[in-house]
Structure 1
Amino acid sequence: MSIEDAKDHVVQVEHVKGEKIKEDGAVLLVADSVLQKIPIPSNDPNDPLNFSRIRKMTVLLTTCWFSIFSLLSVSGLGSILGTIFQLYGKEHTPTEIVGLSNYASMVMSVGCVLLLPVAFVLGRRPVFLFAVLVCLICYITAATSTTFNGHVISRIFIGLATGTTESLLPLIIADVSYLDERGFYFGLYWSSQNAISAGLLIAIPYLVAATSWRWFYWFFAIAMAGSLVLAIFALPETKFIRPPMALSGRAVYTDEFGHTHVVSHEEAEQRFGAPLTAETTSSPPPPKRTFAQELKPFHGLPPNALKLWLHTYKKILQSCTAPAVIYALALASIALGIGIAITNIYSTLLQESYHWSASSVGLFNAGAIPASICAMLYTGYFGDRLTIWLATRNGGMHKPEHLLMQLIFPVLMTVVGIVTIAVAANAPQSYSAWAMVVGWAIYQFAFTCIIITSTTYAAEAIPDCPGAGMVVVVGGKNLVSFGAAQGIIPMVAKFSYLTSLMILLGILLGIAFLGIPIYFLNQKWREVTATEIDVDA
């Protein structure tokens, strides 16, 4: 097997209770010279890894559908913000109205942190069904709201439920896929989300202009009703407890965060208190659940439910001490905050300064479709090859900090994108509105690359709790980004579009340059914590 064939097989060694962590975060890209299917599926027909390809794609369709029509309802209000200003502008300040868009994004972090640990305990299916129902109900209450406060409350609960898209849904995808195919599944998940959302952002202003602002929510209510049907009939419970199994002289198991570990037989027996189960089908497989049984929303609590719930929060808090997680959170947050800030101003700017109609402002997002595809190619095709090249130069070992090298080009592109938008916004009499469209496409490419790379880095940078690090970054960025997103209106009122966006760009670049000391500091952090943190069973 070549290095390229093994690029997705990044495994980390876990340790037993009472032992001090003593690993530097480096992981093997090549092992045993044979491509293995990890995690190892059991002989149980109900094991999600044993689902047919068609059924796995149906699960992916269900998760993509919900992610598109929940996230877009949170971020897409900027495309009709001019209409919202006309609706509430007489009684509320511009900052309050922009908050209508930003509050939902902010509370997504709360939903992420609250719902993910519950999914580890209760299962994926009941939490997902709950999120879909909350979104559907709140779309209806938002569409029928008669007061500003009622509108705000509906959007807050939409944001809480939408938090599952950045925590639970990636976990479901991991449940049904092997390590060597997760890149394919996650690529479809993120690229379809970005591309379809960009297309809908073009269409939604036309819908609102032809009807009313309420159809912004009625459209999502209809789409979410379809999501409910898919959730009920196409998404069975994917949480599955499989024992550690023998593979090539080692033991393979998956932790509560969906991360696969390879340990010695002795470590596995000490951890689980039982001999290893070989990769055999010596015992008869259990019966396959009927379709009616799969429709059950809840399959009961595990015996250690409270311990698992508390253990999940402990891991999340533990990951917050890592410089890598703090850096990834800060960089992803400012990148997201600037993106939201731009969506909060472009609708009004295009109508007032460039004299676009309210129905046409969605065309601002036209470049986001090819930008999202280019970002997936950059982080996937180029990023994988850069990682392999750096690992080869390091004796075949991949270090998490190698991923920081991938951030150099996207950070440079943020400068090009933001400066282009700022200059065109500040002098509309001298520049075409299409300069803003091109600048936004460039920034969307850079933003997507930064989000994917920073969250991947956070997941790899902590050998003891990789999934928890990703949860902190993916969920926390919506909360931290609130300051940049909410502050754009007061800054524009005090300064100008150019000055305001340059302030935000300066913050982004300042954070990005911290990646240089982080490259060395996080390795030192792992060495220090290796003598201080005991591993729990």
Structure 2
Amino acid sequence: MGHQEEPPRIGKTPSGQGQGEGPAEKTSKPSTEEVGWDGPTDPARPVNWSRKKKWWNMGIISYLTFLTPLTSSIVAPAQGLVMKDFHSTNRTLASFVVSIYLVGFAVGPLFLAPLSEIYGRLRVYQVGTFIFTIWNIAGALAPNVGALLVFRLFAGISGSGPVTLGAGSVADMFARQERGVAMSLYGLGPLLGPVIGPIAGGYLSQAQGWRWVFWLLAIVSGAAVILVFFVLSESYEPVLLRQKAKRIRQANPSVEVNAGPALKLDSRKVFIQAITRPTKLLFLTPNVALFSLYTGVVFGYLYLLFTTVTEVYETTYNFSQGATGLVYIGIGVGALIGITGFGALSDKIQNLLIERNNGQAEPEFRLPPLIPGSFLIPIGLFWYGWSAQMHVHWIMPIIGLGWVGCGMIATLLPIQSYLVDAFGEYAASAIAANTVVRSIVGAFLPLAGPSMYATLGLGWGNSLLGFVALGLLPVPVVFYFYGKRIRMNSRYQVSV
């Protein structure tokens, strides 16, 4: 259930004279109540929740942002079994079994972000997680590959909520100077989930068949349903204030509630504005556009590796299907190193820059770790590609994947933190735009993997990817030094 606030205080403001007995009572106007927080330290406001409550909520959201991306890759080692079961040898179709889930991740945010502004983040988490569980059950029962693709698509749509709304939930609960660790925890799921997925999926599908992969997903997402319905709290302030206004009206019908312009809800107008806002931000603001492209390339590389590493290790190093899942540990270890180093570093660097800037925070203060971190992905791709091409010891390509995993954390966390700080109230829309782009690239780039490696080989194929990543290095440098000037430029002031 959602968070239950204490009964609202009623502060009446007389709007007319002559209240009392007799005829004057008929001409008096009802008193009015201005709905807002009871001071800056109101405990009902999410940013003022107890530390325990914040981290309970953060833990559940992080579980969701781990689970839904895990679903994208857990079937990767079982692609062969799925195709064999459905009597198909189409390698592109096999890759699409994995990546079509990300098409859903691209579509979902366009609807879930605006719905969260109407009904609150909690309702989207609840309904989305429940429907996500249903589609996983359907996947376990899929009668053919076409049905499986449809079920995976809709699972992606319903499962995109936590990744889309999670950054906004962090902004709801944590002050700007406290967000680094929370954003790191939120950002770890979309990277660590897809890494753990193939490890579990490889052995489970080898032992019990690919359908049990979906039964496992149904079980763990069913547990998430319980958590979001009975533990998670609403954190979106406009919705909480609308709920407070409603309780005041119910408790005191004679009180005219003045909820303020921001809280007067026209659902149709809010939905249209919110569904167009990510598109406006994506196409009209350079920071959202370029950083979305950046994360799109990073996620495209991640899922290209997910769909090709299994075959590389089965053919080059003669690994079993179950053992190939362990190869992804390299990315996971790299991600953990990244989260440990860059997560803590982000807040320290920001606080130092704020101190040097006379106590004034700027979103660009989140970007310095991204500059050295951007070198890690190209290093990892060169290392992985050429060590696999030359058939050196199997541990060497895994070390290369570790560099890639660390680089992905070093890229994702500063960009997400920057977008949250730069867009504040509209952080969910900025993250939605970012999620759409990275999901589209993540869905379709892997389809080019088999033909690229067949033409260029592992060495030059991954080198090509590394050179593209190097070409993106100027982006964080430009926005660190000139980002504020770009944001303040009237040409890029978008009406949202």
Which TM-score band applies after superposition, normalised by the shorter structure? Answer: 0.7 to 0.9
Q: CA deviation at 1:160?
A: 0.5
Instruction: Please give the secondary structure, in 1, of the residue aligned with 2:317.
Output: coil
Bigger RCO of structures 1 and 2 (CA < 8 A, at least 6 apart) = 1
Distance in 2 (alpha carbons) for counterparts of 1:322 and 1:66? 29
Instruction: Check whether the contact 1:133–1:228 (CA below 8 A) recurs between aligned residues.
Output: yes
- Paired amino acid for 2:329: A
- Paired amino acid for 1:506: F
TM-score (norm 1): 0.74
1:182 aligns with 2:179: yes
Partner of 2:260: none
Partner of 2:258: none
Instruction: Check whether the contact 2:119–2:239 (CA below 8 A) recurs between aligned residues.
Output: no
> Any unmatched runs of 5+ in structure 2?
1-36, 252-262
1:311 aligns with 2:273: yes
Q: Which of the numbers 160, 164, 175 marks the counterpart of 2:161?
A: 164
Instruction: Check whether the contact 1:323–1:518 (CA below 8 A) recurs between aligned residues.
Output: no
Partner of 2:340: 377
Partner of 1:422: 385
Partner of 1:76: 74
Partner of 1:458: 419
Instruction: Please give the secondary structure, in 1, of the residue aligned with 2:155.
Output: helix
Q: Structure 1 residues 43 and 216, CA, compared in 2 at 3 Å: closer, same or farther?
A: closer
Instruction: Map 1:311-460 onto structure 2 (within 5 A).
Output: 311-320=273-282, 321-392=284-355, 397-428=360-391, 431-460=392-421
Q: Structure 1 residues 218 and 156, CA, compared in 2 at 3 Å: closer, same or farther?
A: same
Q: Structure 1 residues 146 and 137, CA, compared in 2 at 3 Å: closer, same or farther?
A: same
Q: Structure 1 residues 404 and 84, CA, compared in 2 at 3 Å: closer, same or farther?
A: same
Of Structure 1 and Structure 2, the greater helix share is in: 2
Instruction: Please give the secondary structure, in 1, of the residue aligned with 2:268.
Output: helix
1:215 aligns with 2:177: no
Q: CA deviation at 1:74?
A: 1.0
Instruction: Check whether the contact 1:324–1:461 (CA below 8 A) recurs between aligned residues.
Output: no
Distance in 2 (alpha carbons) for counterparts of 1:181 and 1:39? 21
Q: CA deviation at 1:302?
A: 6.2
Q: CA deviation at 1:395?
A: 5.3
Instruction: Please give the secondary structure, in 2, of the residue aligned with 1:142.
Output: helix
Instruction: Check whether the contact 1:121–1:305 (CA below 8 A) recurs between aligned residues.
Output: yes
Q: Structure 1 residues 39 and 184, CA, compared in 2 at 3 Å: closer, same or farther?
A: farther
Q: Which has the larger radius of gyration?
A: 2
Distance in 2 (alpha carbons) for counterparts of 1:468 and 1:198? 27
Q: CA deviation at 1:317?
A: 3.3
Deviations 1:410-431 (A, max 9, x none): 2221122111110122232xx0
Instruction: Please give the secondary structure, in 2, of the residue aligned with 1:356.
Output: coil
Q: CA deviation at 1:353?
A: 1.4
Deviations 1:389-418 (A, max 9, x none): 445555554544444432222222112211
Q: Structure 1 residues 390 and 229, CA, compared in 2 at 3 Å: closer, same or farther?
A: closer
Q: CA deviation at 1:49?
A: 4.9
Q: Structure 1 residues 491 and 476, CA, compared in 2 at 3 Å: closer, same or farther?
A: same
Distance in 2 (alpha carbons) for counterparts of 1:490 and 1:310? 41
Q: Structure 1 residues 100 and 200, CA, compared in 2 at 3 Å: closer, same or farther?
A: closer
Partner of 1:502: 463
Q: CA deviation at 1:461?
A: 4.5
> C-alpha root-mean-square deviation of aligned residues, in Å?
3.3
Q: Which of the numbers 208, 230, 233 marks the counterpart of 1:233?
A: 230
Distance in 2 (alpha carbons) for counterparts of 1:62 and 1:243? 19
Instruction: Please give the secondary structure, in 2, of the residue aligned with 1:360.
Output: helix
Q: Which of the numbers 91, 95, 98 marks the counterpart of 2:95?
A: 98
Q: Which of the numbers 447, 466, 491 marks the counterpart of 1:486?
A: 447
Q: CA deviation at 1:456?
A: 2.4
> Any unmatched runs of 5+ in structure 1?
1-36, 245-255, 257-284, 290-300
Partner of 2:429: 468
Instruction: Check whether the contact 2:172–2:236 (CA below 8 A) recurs between aligned residues.
Output: yes
Instruction: Check whether the contact 1:209–1:358 (CA below 8 A) recurs between aligned residues.
Output: yes
Deviations 1:198-217 (A, max 9, x none): 44542331121111011110
- Paired amino acid for 1:104: Y
Instruction: Check whether the contact 2:77–2:310 (CA below 8 A) recurs between aligned residues.
Output: yes
Instruction: Please give the secondary structure, in 2, of the residue aligned with 1:172.
Output: helix
Instruction: Check whether the contact 2:380–2:403 (CA below 8 A) recurs between aligned residues.
Output: yes
Q: CA deviation at 1:94?
A: 0.8
TM-score (norm 2): 0.79
Of the structure 1 ranges 56-65 and 113-122, higher mean CA displacement relative to structure 2 is found in: 56-65
Distance in 2 (alpha carbons) for counterparts of 1:81 and 1:518? 41
- Paired amino acid for 1:123: G
Q: CA deviation at 1:243?
A: 10
Distance in 1 (alpha carbons) for counterparts of 2:53 and 2:356? 41
Q: CA deviation at 1:161?
A: 1.2
Instruction: Please give the secondary structure, in 2, of the residue aligned with 1:241.
Output: helix
Distance in 2 (alpha carbons) for counterparts of 1:463 and 1:141? 38
Percent of pairs identical after alignment?
18
Q: Structure 1 residues 368 and 411, CA, compared in 2 at 3 Å: closer, same or farther?
A: same
Partner of 2:221: 224
Q: CA deviation at 1:500?
A: 1.8
Instruction: Check whether the contact 1:124–1:238 (CA below 8 A) recurs between aligned residues.
Output: yes
Q: Structure 1 residues 383 and 177, CA, compared in 2 at 3 Å: closer, same or farther?
A: closer
Distance in 2 (alpha carbons) for counterparts of 1:477 and 1:117? 19
- Paired amino acid for 1:308: V
